[in-house]
């Protein structure tokens, strides 16, 4: 099929590339000329395992094309995906200005019946707004062209987005016509040769499904972090509690790992947007507000532990930080706990030596820009030199089995604050390291600070 994807951010670029990989002819559109020129040269603006090679291969075969001109992309396309950002507004609601701007452009430039697909994460009712925006432009043209608006929310996980796109566990599609359903079945048929996990429903339900899914996962994370805080106070071990409840098949182990809070482009924004959507319909979502409140507080837990150990005034102290991205296998720092933790430490007078395999550029140029108390290191062990303690924030693979002897040797004080509960407490203590976890009372070695 001939497909246009408007927006070459995380969702748009991955989606368009994977459609091209299956043999479709895809035009990816973006108003950012520098980004489009870079993509034509094989320069990928995000880190996602496997994406660069797939883009290069499909661009070389002309299955994947890049342009700043939406009219060029729509010239031959049958389906147009809207995959632009929906940033969080000041009140927490989703900002739809970019979505509706694309809808307006489609109405201006479409030349045949068009299937317009909302791929961006949008609140319930957005498809109708898209429909109105397109029809308004068609009316200005005195055009009788027809179109269908479809909701097809994305469920990509950063770090495994290619696999999620090529082998999806389900694809949710909201339609209001048999014609639209047939077109989407044709587009997604190559992805489901051995099963049929296409789930068709009405458009409002599809829009709601995305928010409900992310809010459920965020709820599990905040619930487990709430349990971890209780465990620490009553003397229980949250790691053992997690195993105990996760073994219940009704609960399972997914998303019940304690930590220093969730971040990224989806969970924080989508929870807030659903809260605001509920409010706009006269409903107060007490549970989701609590999920958000717990997560905000959880980003402060490691800072609290550091101050309990070293005092509120951290002047003259230096802390090594492992991990800046909100999760491993991505360079995305949006809403990352590292932003809060490092900012709080430096505000208290500390200096930070930070290392991350992929996100240093993002930190330096955007999220921690201007913080002159942060030094960026080229390796995890370089960050340890002359530091008073190590703080682990992101669970990258290279942090899973470090040299604890080297950690103890390089740190001025062998103290480790683990925001992801990565290690066995007794084993770490054997190296003379004082080890602090989330939701567990610390095991102290004979360390004098």
Hey, which residues are catalytic here? 266
Instruction: Give phi and psi for 295, each to the nearest 5.
Output: -65, -40
Query: Which CA distances in Å does 118 have to 24, 37, 92?
Result: 19, 25, 20
Helix (H) or strand (E) holding 118, with range, is: strand 114-118
Instruction: Give phi and psi for 4, each to the nearest 5.
Output: -110, 135
Please list the alpha-helical segments (H only) found in 121-202. 126-140, 161-166, 178-188
Task: Let me know how long the chain is.
Answer: 449
CA-CA-CA-CA torsion sign (131, 277, 217, 84): positive
Secondary structure (DSSP) of 15-63:
HHHHHHHTT-EEEEE-S-HHHHHHHHTT--SS--TTHHHHHHHHHHTTS
Tokens of 390: 């190590």
Q: Would you say 68 and 106 are in contact if contact means Cβ atoms under 8 Å apart?
A: no
Neighbours of 447 (CB within 10 A): 13
225/293 Cα distance (integer angstroms): 11
428/248 Cα distance (integer angstroms): 29
Query: Which CA distances in Å does 366 have to 353, 370, 395?
Result: 17, 9, 22
Pairing of strands 434-437, 440-443: antiparallel
Tokens of 97: 């200005």
Q: Would you say 248 and 238 are in contact if contact means Cβ atoms under 8 Å apart?
A: no
């Amino acid at each position: 099929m001939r497909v246009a994807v408007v927006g070459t951010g995380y969702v748009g670029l991955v989606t368009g590339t994977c459609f091209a990989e299956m043999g479709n002819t895809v035009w990816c559109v973006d108003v950012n000329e520098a980004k489009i020129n870079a993509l034509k040269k094989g320069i990928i603006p995000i880190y996602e395992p496997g994406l660069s090679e797939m883009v290069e291969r499909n661009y070389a075969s002309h299955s994947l094309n890049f342009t700043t001109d939406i009219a060029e992309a729509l010239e031959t396309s049958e389906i147009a995906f809207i995959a632009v950002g929906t940033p969080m507004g000041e009140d927490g609601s989703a900002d739809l200005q970019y979505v509706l701007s694309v809808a307006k452009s489609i109405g201006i430039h479409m030349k045949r019946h068009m299937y317009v697909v909302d791929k961006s994460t949008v609140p319930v009712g957005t498809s109708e707004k898209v429909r109105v925006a397109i029809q308004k432009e068609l009316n200005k043209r005195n055009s009788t062209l027809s179109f269908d608006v479809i909701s097809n929310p994305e469920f990509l996980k950063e770090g495994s987005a290619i696999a999620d796109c090529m082998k999806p566990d389900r694809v949710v599609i909201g339609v209001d016509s048999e014609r639209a359903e047939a077109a989407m079945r044709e587009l997604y048929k190559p992805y489901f040769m051995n099963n049929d996990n296409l789930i068709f429903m009405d458009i409002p339900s599809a829009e709601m499904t995305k928010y409900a899914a992310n809010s459920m996962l965020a709820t599990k994370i905040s619930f487990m972090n709430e349990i971890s805080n209780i465990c620490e106070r009553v003397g229980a071990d949250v790691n053992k509690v997690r195993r105990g409840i996760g073994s219940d098949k009704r609960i399972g182990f997914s998303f019940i790992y304690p930590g220093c809070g969730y971040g990224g482009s989806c969970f924080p924004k989508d929870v807030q947007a659903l809260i605001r959507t509920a409010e706009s319909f006269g409903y107060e979502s007490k549970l989701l507000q609590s999920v958000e409140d717990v997560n905000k507080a959880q980003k402060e837990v490691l800072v609290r532990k550091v101050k309990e150990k070293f005092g509120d005034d951290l002047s003259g102290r230096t802390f090594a930080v492992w991990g800046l991205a909100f999760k491993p296998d991505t360079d995305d720092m949006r809403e990352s706990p590292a932003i809060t933790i490092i900012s709080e430490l430096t505000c208290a007078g500390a200096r930070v030596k930070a290392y991350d395999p992929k996100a240093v550029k993002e930190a330096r140029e955007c999220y921690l820009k201007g913080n002159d108390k942060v030094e960026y290191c080229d390796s995890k062990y370089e960050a340890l030199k002359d530091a008073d303690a190590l703080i682990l924030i992101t669970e990258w693979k290279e942090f899973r089995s470090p040299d604890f002897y080297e950690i103890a040797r390089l740190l001025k004080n062998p103290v480790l604050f683990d925001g992801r509960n990565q290690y066995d407490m007794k084993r770490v203590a054997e190296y003379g390291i004082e080890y602090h976890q989330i939701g567990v009372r610390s095991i102290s070695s004979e360390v004098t600070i």
